[in-house]
Amino acid sequence: MNDARPTSWLQLANPAVFNRWADRLLWPLVIATLGLFAYGLYGTFFVSPADYQQGNTVRIMYIHVPAAWLALFVYAGMVVSALGTLVFRHPMADVAQKAAAPLGAAFTLVCLITGSIWGKPTWGTWWQWDARMTSVLVLLLVYLGIMALWRAVDDPLRAARAVAILTLVGAVNLPIIKFSVDWWYTLHQPASVFRLDGPTIHPSMLKPLLIMALGYLGLYLVLLLVRMKTELTLRRIDRLQRLAAGIPGERA
Amino acid sequence: MTGWTALLLRDLRLARRVGAGAELGLVFFLILVSLLPFAIGADQRFISRIAPAFLWLAALLATLLGLDRLLQADEEEGVLDQFMLSGTPLELLVLAKALAHWLVTGLPLSLVAPLLGLMLAIEPQAMVPLALSLLVGTPALTLIGLIGAALTVSLKRGGLLLSVLVLPLTVPTLIFGATLVKEAALGRPYTTPLMLLGGMTLLMLVIAPVSAAAALRHARQ
């Protein structure tokens, strides 16, 4: 059984099986990610043209936009994991949720910071209460709340279920927040804001953008696997320490 | 349903006798309002302009008061265990808790808000819409808070965490509520924000009891 393929995803609930598969996936993913980033960054800085209005500043887009995509993608993944936790009681879903939250927050933060750096030369301000930026900011706050709840509850099983419920509640609310912020923006923002509507994106810019997005996705998966492995090791250490301390009711 | 009404009445009685619930919440609301001119100056026109937003923010903060003890006291005294055994669905029981909380915070706040609006020089035609917006919107705030209270029920110092969890989710309610009052102050129709505000409350009426009950059940497994 040990060396067999995981015939069902339920088998991955066994940490040993999961670890073995994670190890097999990890290096190919690392190499693919490095390759994608090398190619994508080359495209970003040397191949793709400068914008006729923004000049070289437009190259921030290749860092900024994939981060925004990943910020949402990670949350979607956390929703799937939350369902895995609540419906299937899959232990790896707990671990995946916990590992994903700080990564999602980090991508959101990268999105906000690069957006701010991009905004200074193009809009002339570091921060603008623009609908999109505000929505992303609220997304960051939701991520931070989820991370805070993970920290606050000691027992990992309980924490996973509480966070899963919060993640699902957040998933229902995030589209509403997005809608309400858009609505608020159209009602109350002065019309002076310089909008970056521009022409539809040219293929010479789209290609490096998509490659960078794949690179970001690879980076996320690598970090997720590493964090999940770390979390499993930490839990094992915790259990062994409890066992060594002779706390009753603990099994090896 | 007798258990449900009994729980509601018990919570209202507790709020009156032990917590001094409604009055204290209103005093807090009043203090917030009277602090505003000290912070931004006594310029009547400026105050008048930011008053709708400020009253909604104050209502938000006042609703947060006591939320961390909403379910925690029952958890410590073992009342939650009785809830589980009672046979009445837990979803309905937590709804009774939320209703009791709203009756001693949100409702009095909504009724007093026009008076405070007077102090903040809100346009006369916005007085009734202000009360209406709070009346329709504060239940959503309490219900979102109920989810946070259930998630942090077993934590010793859950108050700050609860606010961090709950406040981002109140963004739509705040937007719709404050917009309603602003539109009304400008003499414009406010049906759309009112509908959206009502929609938020109805949605939360569905989501909050289910999520809160699920959180409570999972917390004791």
Domain boundaries, chain B: 2-219
Contacts of B194 in chain A (CB under 8 A): none
Domain that residue A220 falls in: 13-188+202-243
Residue A249 lies in a domain: no
Q: What is the mean predicted confidence (pLDDT) over B13-22?
A: 72
CA distance B130 to B114: 7
Which of B168, B211, B218 is facing A138, going by the closest CB pair? B168
Q: What is the mean predicted confidence (pLDDT) over A61-67?
A: 89
Q: What is the mean predicted confidence (pLDDT) over B173-200?
A: 91
Q: Taking the alpha carbons of B85, B88, B89, B93 in that order, is the dihedral positive or negative?
A: negative
Highest mean pLDDT out of A8-17, A97-106, A175-184, B26-35: A97-106
Which residues of B lie inside 8 Å of A (Cβ-Cβ)?
147, 151-152, 154-155, 158, 161, 164-165, 167-169, 171-172, 175-176, 179, 196, 200, 203, 207, 211, 214-215, 218-219, 221
- Residue A51 sits at φ, ψ, to 5 deg, of -75, 145
Q: How many CB atoms lie within 10 A of CB B39?
A: 7
Tell me if A138 and B171 make a contact (CB, 8 A cut-off).
Answer: yes
Residue A120 lies in a domain: yes
The predicted complex's ipTM stands at: 0.87
Distance (Å) from the alpha carbon of A145 to chain B's nearest alpha carbon: 5
Residue A2 lies in a domain: no
Q: What is the mean predicted confidence (pLDDT) over A158-169?
A: 92
Tell me if B176 and A180 make a contact (CB, 8 A cut-off).
Answer: yes
Q: Which of A85, A106, A90 is nearest to A220 (CA)?
A: A106
3-state percent breakdown (helix, strand, coil) of chain B, nearest 5: 85, 0, 15
Tell me if A153 and B154 make a contact (CB, 8 A cut-off).
Answer: yes
Between chain A and chain B, the number of residue pairs with CB atoms below 8 A apart is 79
CA distance A201 to A196: 12
3-state SS assignment for residue B70 = coil
Contacts of A183 in chain B (CB under 8 A): 175, 196
Lowest mean pLDDT among A231-240, B62-71, B101-110: B62-71
CA distance B207 to B64: 19
Is pLDDT larger for residue B3 or for residue B203?
B203
Nearest CA in chain A to B150: A162
User: What are the contacts of A172-176 at 24+ separation with CB within 8 A?
Assistant: A172/B203, A172/B207, A173/B169, A173/B172, A174/A75, A174/A138, A174/A139, A174/A142, A176/B172, A176/B200, A176/B203
Q: Which of A97, A167, A169, A184 to mutate to test the interface with B (most CBs of B within 10 A)?
A: A169
Q: Is the pLDDT of residue B213 over 60?
A: yes
Bridge partner residues of A55 (DSSP): A51
Contacts of A172 in chain B (CB under 8 A): 203, 207
Bridge partner residues of A51 (DSSP): A55
Q: Which of B49, B144, B156, B169 to mutate to test the interface with A (most CBs of A within 10 A)?
A: B169
Nearest CA in chain A to B154: A153
Q: Nearest 5 degrees, angle CA A215-CA A102-CA B214?
A: 125
Tell me if A165 and B219 make a contact (CB, 8 A cut-off).
Answer: no
Measured between its terminal Cα atoms, the distance across chain B in Å is 27
Instruction: Identify whether the C-beta of residue B142 lies closer than 8 Å to the C-beta of residue B66.
Output: no
User: How many structural domains comprise chain A?
Assistant: 1
Specify the pLDDT at position B126. 87
Residues 6+ apart with CB under 8 A from B206: none
3-state SS assignment for residue B152 = coil
